[in-house]
Amino acid sequence: MINATKKWIFLKISGAILVPLMIWFILNFITIYDQDYSVISNFFINPSSRFLFSLFIINAYFFSALSISEVFEDYIKNNKIKNVANRLLYLSAVVIPLITIILLTKL
């Protein structure tokens, strides 16, 4: 399979998975928006909420990294700069969700 085809398929699958996770997050965010710290921490202590939020964060960063890498492919002509930009993008798409999930487990 061509690399561009794999990216396109992963982009569509991650986008389809992201829709229900985004709806779940928005509905829960509305309920905890004006609450105090204990309610918010209880939300993230709940194992199902923590798991779904972790999936949401991982999928959102994966989706955004794939989308932004396509922009790099289209608009950056220098291959060295494009490769460095893509590697930094993919590194940040792994490190930032990982740090977020680790910090959530510390609650």
Q: How far apart are CA 9 and CA 34, in angstroms?
A: 39
Query: Which pLDDT does position 7 carry in this prediction?
Result: 87
40 lies in which domain range? Answer: 3-105
If one counts the domains in the chain, the total is: 1
Q: Is 62 exposed, middle or buried (0-12, 13-18, 19+ CB in 10 A)?
A: buried
Give the end-to-end CA distance of the chain in Å, rounded to a whole number: 43
Query: Which pLDDT does position 83 carry in this prediction?
Result: 93
pLDDT tens figures, 52-67: 999 999 999 999 999 9
Q: How far apart are CA 56 and CA 24, in angstroms?
A: 9
In the structure, what pLDDT confidence band is assigned to residue 20 with cuts at 50, 70 and 90?
very high
The CA-atom distances, in angstroms, between 68 and each of 73, 76, 96, 102 are 9, 12, 16, 25
Q: How far apart are CA 97 and CA 87, in angstroms?
A: 16
Query: Which pLDDT does position 97 carry in this prediction?
Result: 94
pLDDT tens figures, 38-48: 998 899 899 99
